[in-house]
Amino acid sequence: MNNKDKNNLPKDHFLYKIFNPDSITVFGANNNLLTTMGSMQLRNIIAGGFKGRIYPVHPRLSEVQGYKAYKSVLDLPETPDLAFLILPPMVIPEVMRECGEKGIKRLIITSGGFREIGEDGVELSQKVTQIADTYDMRFVGPNCLGIYNGWYDPEVQDTYINTMWIYEIPERGNISIASQSGTIACHIFWHCQDWGVKVGKSLSIGNELNIDILDYLEYFRRDPQTQVIGLYLEEIKRGREFIELAKRITPEKPIVAIYAGGTEAAERSIKSHTGAMGGNQKIYDAAFKETRIISTTSIKDFLYYLRTLSFAQENKLFMKGEKIGIITDSGGSGSMMTKTTEQLGLKVPRFSEKLQSTIREKIPYTASALNPIDVTFDTNFINLFKTFPKILMESGEVDAIIVYGVFDFDDVLKTMEESGMEIDDEMRQIGDMIERAVFKPMKRLMKKYSLPVFYVGPMPYRFEWYQKFISHEIPVFDMWDAPTKCLKILYDYSQFRGTFK
Amino acid sequence: MNNKDKNNLPKDHFLYKIFNPDSITVFGANNNLLTTMGSMQLRNIIAGGFKGRIYPVHPRLSEVQGYKAYKSVLDLPETPDLAFLILPPMVIPEVMRECGEKGIKRLIITSGGFREIGEDGVELSQKVTQIADTYDMRFVGPNCLGIYNGWYDPEVQDTYINTMWIYEIPERGNISIASQSGTIACHIFWHCQDWGVKVGKSLSIGNELNIDILDYLEYFRRDPQTQVIGLYLEEIKRGREFIELAKRITPEKPIVAIYAGGTEAAERSIKSHTGAMGGNQKIYDAAFKETRIISTTSIKDFLYYLRTLSFAQENKLFMKGEKIGIITDSGGSGSMMTKTTEQLGLKVPRFSEKLQSTIREKIPYTASALNPIDVTFDTNFINLFKTFPKILMESGEVDAIIVYGVFDFDDVLKTMEESGMEIDDEMRQIGDMIERAVFKPMKRLMKKYSLPVFYVGPMPYRFEWYQKFISHEIPVFDMWDAPTKCLKILYDYSQFRGTFK
């Protein structure tokens, strides 16, 4: 985020202070992290390095998690920017009224027990809405986990505010998520960490009694910290307005959405989850098509698409066409990716004779230079990771490249050493050499040619070398299913953005 | 494997001694593991605890990786069961002749440079075929990585023979793979380890110049160590016979296949990979349909389907119908799985009033008992993992169950402790209690009712609790896309096997 962006933060939007409170009061937390969800949530707020004031309110305790506790919100020494309520639903109206009397204007109500449980809940919902109107309050939820904002302090990398109960958070980035399910808002965080899916904001928005998906979308539209948007939807209340707003957003910021309704039992499930009504799949499909929202029913694809578009937005790296070059040290994965690329409607063109002969000079005679380039067994990883991609980039014959062959070189060397082989310094430096010769230069080349290069290998993300690619912000994949699907998504979005020649 | 199985090993099949050699001679290995692929392959044979004799043949070295080396195969003190050749293709005929003179009958030829490189290679192929015929030799390959056999010593768990260059191997089990690509034969091993995909044999079969996919399939058919078969195909040479054999196998042993050809560039890719001709996708689709082979183009689905069927075969645990019960502590993942279950053609039936009221007694009033059962936030993991699944099993209203909510309890407690919470012994024992109260009893119940229960959570497999499920042979998933797809595969196969009431 540059200085210009910093000045463009939507500070006048009513959500700003919810995402960036200077002071917060918490109802429903105690000192037992295990059995009280709210305690874990307060713990997470503290763990994020919250630099403002925290005021726990508790009827009996004088101290909660190291903070002085107050018997009533009315006793607080100031009016906090935000109240966070994790209480039995029946006491919510009373507590809200007190918050209103104190002058608090922003709340997060995590409690369930509203319309999703039926008639009693509907009545409670009405009451809560009325109180909010009386005191001119806006609130997230109810029936939610609240918010994660990795940009809480833009100046300090590892600070954040996280009111959800999942205690791990991803590295912050340009992805913002609004989810009608807490699961999708925060259970994804472990995989985001492992895969390098840089989520900067993630919101569990619950029943949308007061603030709805359009409000969050409008905030994301204006927010320079948001460049890619992920949505988990069980219903859209203001359909026509949603479409109009999404149409304004997608040319600038791609949206990836999961719609969880549309089948009989799924409707039953979401009715009991958030009380939402869902709706016919065809209506949603039509809305997604009209707005150019990218939709999926797979949580893994959801994360991969967000990661792909995040990378593209961050580096202004869009595809200029549909031609994919594949470079591999393994025939099988190369063939499989070739097939899925074509099945997805992209091209894997046979290279020109000139390009083939350039490549052929550098590969074993048993290898292939047609596209895919199959180098077969070859320990020249600089060729595989840089020389060949660079040749393809310069040729103008491809618009994106997939490179298969990412191993954990340290793990390979360790295995060899344990088997009695002497590892000399030169070998030990293979890793360093790749780090120096590949990561930064390749990133530069990708930008120069506006041509993404995806790296792929067979090892799980837990291996350190995958994390090295990720820390250098180079797209890497732990297996060969996802890269072609991601290129298809990027191609479609690039075409829509008008980046084609 | 029981005693009966042990006596039924296909010892009279010509492949038996290739998978279970007592002595082996290796051409093309030296002491440099990094630059010579064959050296790494010999290293892997040694690392597997090969208990027979190993004879490296090398023109100059007197010792290779700790074994006495011989200048010529003719100098060996015995006739080895198997010769393993990793040599430049042009010297293969001469070495083969010497092997023939020595009386060796089984070979693995890993070298590339045969028909896949064009005319020269075709001539070489003919020569090699002729020599094999002259000496009555059978060989795997060429252009392959050879074999992994985890059952090399059935009495000792962690012994194996592995001639491929990937140095990690999965825990052995009832899955056998034959692959026309070395990648699919061994690059999958890391994920197999992490996910608990128990591969007992994996074969990289290359160009099939002498032994083809039908031979391997016939061996697998007779092999009691094989209960599930995975295939990676770029071509099938004897189409009609393949179909007849597969039709005999699938009612007893399910087959999952990847076909990599069928599109224009994919055909070009596989032509340069193994020299195969591939063929029209529709022909393959028809063959898969007729033989009931389960096909996919996704490597992850391939591994998941194999794992699912392996579990079903091992425990004789097939589905009796199409009704899925979903139990979750997270609404979003529950809704998403409900939707994909229905989209795949299975049912998520609303529970009877009686069953609902039984469940409702045990869940918070904000929770749902309809199906999915959404317990919302609840730290009673015994309910989630055992009590509810058991109630559903006893009800007779479902044929399979998905349980969402697998966390790493040790990681959760560690986080709490680091945040200053006192962890008492009772809490520390949550993990032990789940181990005792869930794993074995649930496995027993699954078998009793012939009703699979799949456990799902949001954390990657690297977390220890996922590995605990795996080590207890309980199906567990690191996210919520795959379980419904796997149930669909299991349902289809169960129906085909005639396990329905």
Give the mean model confidence (pLDDT) for residues B289-298. Answer: 97
Residues of B in Cβ contact (< 8 Å) with A460: 190-191, 194, 460-462
What is residue A32's predicted lDDT score, i.e. its pLDDT? 86
Q: Verify whether the Cβ–Cβ distance A421 to B298 is below 8 Å.
A: no
Give the pLDDT of residue B220: 98
Q: How far is CA A262 from the centre of its chain?
A: 24
pLDDT, position A276: 67
For A263, name the nearest residue in chain B, comparing CA atoms only.
B339
| A343 to chain B: closest CA residue | B263
The rounded distance, in Å, linking the Cα atoms of A470 and A421 is 30
CB contact under 8 A, A299 and B480: yes
CB of A122 less than 8 A from some CB of B: no
Whether B152 contacts chain A with CB within 8 A? no
Q: Is the pLDDT of residue B109 over 70?
A: yes
Q: Which of A80-89, A108-117, B52-61, B397-406 has the lowest mean pLDDT?
A: A108-117
More confident residue, B77 or B362: B77
Asked if A425 is an interface residue toward chain B (Cβ–Cβ < 8 A), one would say: no
Task: Please report where in the chains the tokens 């069953």 appear, as a residue.
Answer: B355
Nearest Cβ partner of A333 from B33, B66, B187? B187
The confidence score (pLDDT) of residue A422 equals: 81
Q: Does A280 touch chain B (CB under 8 A)?
A: no
Average per-residue pLDDT in chain A? 93
| Among B156, B155, B165, B154, CA closest to B45 | B165
pLDDT, tens digit, 9 for 90 and up, residues A174-208: 999 999 999 999 999 999 999 999 999 999 999 99
What is the structure's pLDDT at A377? 65
CB atoms within 10 A of CB B77: 10
| pLDDT for position A50 | 93
Edge-to-edge strand list for the sheet holding B324-328: B368-369, B373-374, B324-328, B400-404, B453-456, B476-477
Which of B41, B272, B281, B335 is most worth mutating to test chain A (most A CB atoms within 10 A of its CB)?
B335
| Complete DSSP assignment for B59-78 | SS-SEETTEE-BS-GGG-SS
- B268/A35 CB distance under 8 A: no
Interchain CB contact of A349 with B (< 8 Å): yes
Confidence class of residue B2 from pLDDT cuts 50, 70 and 90? low
pLDDT tens digit sequence for B128-142: 999 999 999 999 999
The structure's pTM equals 0.96
- Closest residue, chain A, to B413 (C-alpha): A34
pLDDT value at residue B202: 98
Residue B269 to residue A113, Cβ atoms within 8 A:
no
B316-497 belongs to CATH 3.40.50.261 = yes
Residues 6 or more apart in contact with residue A175 via CB below 8 angstroms? A197, A198, A199, A200, A201, A226, A227, A228, A229, A230, A306, A307, A310
Interface of B with A in 173-192 (CB under 8 A): 179-184, 187-188, 190-191
Question: What are the distances in angstroms from CA A486 to CA A303, A402, A496, B231?
Answer: 10, 11, 15, 26
Distance between CA atoms of B108 and B141, rounded to whole angstroms?
6
Residue A373 has pLDDT above 70, yes or no: yes
User: If phi over 0 gives left and psi between -120 and 50 gives alpha, with beta otherwise, what is residue B161?
Assistant: beta
- CA–CA dist B21, B449 (Å, integer): 42
Asked whether the predicted pLDDT for residue A151 surpasses 90, the reply is: yes
Q: Is A47 on the interface with B (CB under 8 A)?
A: yes
Confidence at residue B211, expressed as pLDDT on a 0 to 100 scale = 97
Q: What pLDDT is recorded for position A280?
A: 87
Residue A300: pLDDT over 80: yes
Least confident stretch, A95-104, B168-177, B410-419: B410-419
Q: Does B160 score more than 90 pLDDT?
A: yes
| Helix, strand, or coil (residue B480) | coil
> Could you tell me the CA-to-CA distances from B153 to B149, B157, B189, B196, B224 in Å, in that order?
9, 8, 19, 20, 14
* Interfacial A residues in 305-334 facing B (CB < 8 Å): 326, 330-334
Helix or strand or coil: residue A76? coil
Give percent above pLDDT 70 in chain A: 97
How far lies A49's CA from each of A80, A213, A264, in Å?
18, 28, 44
Asked if B170 reaches chain A (Cβ–Cβ under 8 Å), the answer is: no
- Chain B residues with CB under 8 Å of A110 CB are none
Does B35 touch chain A if contact means CB atoms closer than 8 Å? yes
Q: Tell me which residue in B43, B183, B349 faces A333 most closely, judged by beta carbons.
A: B183
At A446, list the tokens: 């990708």
pLDDT at residue A114, as a whole number: 79
pLDDT at B19 over 90: yes
pLDDT of A4 higher than 70: no
**What is the residue extent of each domain of chain A?**
3-310, 316-497
- Count of all residues that appear for chain A in the document: 501
Answer whether B365 sits within 8 Å of A113, measured CB to CB. Answer: yes
Per-residue pLDDT at B17 exceeds 70: yes
| H/E element, B332 | helix B331-343
pLDDT of residue B363: 85
What is chain B's mean pLDDT, rounded?
Answer: 93
What pLDDT, on a 0 to 100 scale, did the predictor assign at position A286?
A: 93
Is the CB of B416 inside 8 Å of chain A's CB atoms? yes
Instruction: For residue B286, give the H/E element and its range.
Output: helix B281-291
**Residue ranges of the alpha helices (H) in B196-249?**
213-222, 239-249
Q: What ipTM goes with this model?
A: 0.95
The Cα–Cα gap between A480 and B120 comes to 32
For the cut 90, the answer to whether the pLDDT of residue B286 exceeds it is yes
CATH for B3-310, among 3.90.1150.10, 1.20.58.100, 3.40.50.261, 3.20.20.10? Answer: 3.40.50.261
In this complex, is the C-beta atom of A88 within 8 Å of any C-beta atom belonging to chain B? Answer: no
